[in-house]
Amino acid sequence: MKTLAVLIALAATLATCDAFSCYSCSGSKSSSCGEIFRASSSYTVYCYTACYKTVSTVDSILGSSTTYSRGCTSRSSYSLTCSSGSAGYFIASGSTETCYCGSSLCNSASNLLPSIIQIVVFVSAVLFFQKF
């Protein structure tokens, strides 16, 4: 049984060495790359490290503007998280959130963090297989 666990871990490690695809595009909230993403093969690029999705919002006295950007990054696959920042001045302010993921076409989602269901299933599987 331990041999099977080692083989599965080895296979998972080898799978991360191959290239995978990311969506690469940018646009406004209402564009096909925006809030409601419309996937297209014309948006795909090959990547060896990680995909990202960035949402940038600028608010000013003239109104608000949101831009979406997706692509491939050289960020280490060991730091696949989300980060955010904001800044403001007298007449304008802005915020940016960038999320990173490490599987094929993973940057299409509205939120790249794992869902609570995925976490519960993973923890349950780990606890189940520890008994054997």
Q: Give pLDDT tens digits for 14-70.
A: 444 567 899 999 998 888 988 888 888 899 999 888 899 999 999 988 889 999 999
How many angstroms separate the first and last alpha carbons of the chain?
A: 8
In a domain, 2, yes or no: no
In a domain, 5, yes or no: no
Task: Count CB neighbours of 90 within 10 A.
Answer: 6
Residue ranges making up the domain that contains 35: 17-130
- C-alpha 81/C-alpha 96 separation (Å) is 14
In a domain, 7, yes or no: no
pTM of the model: 0.65
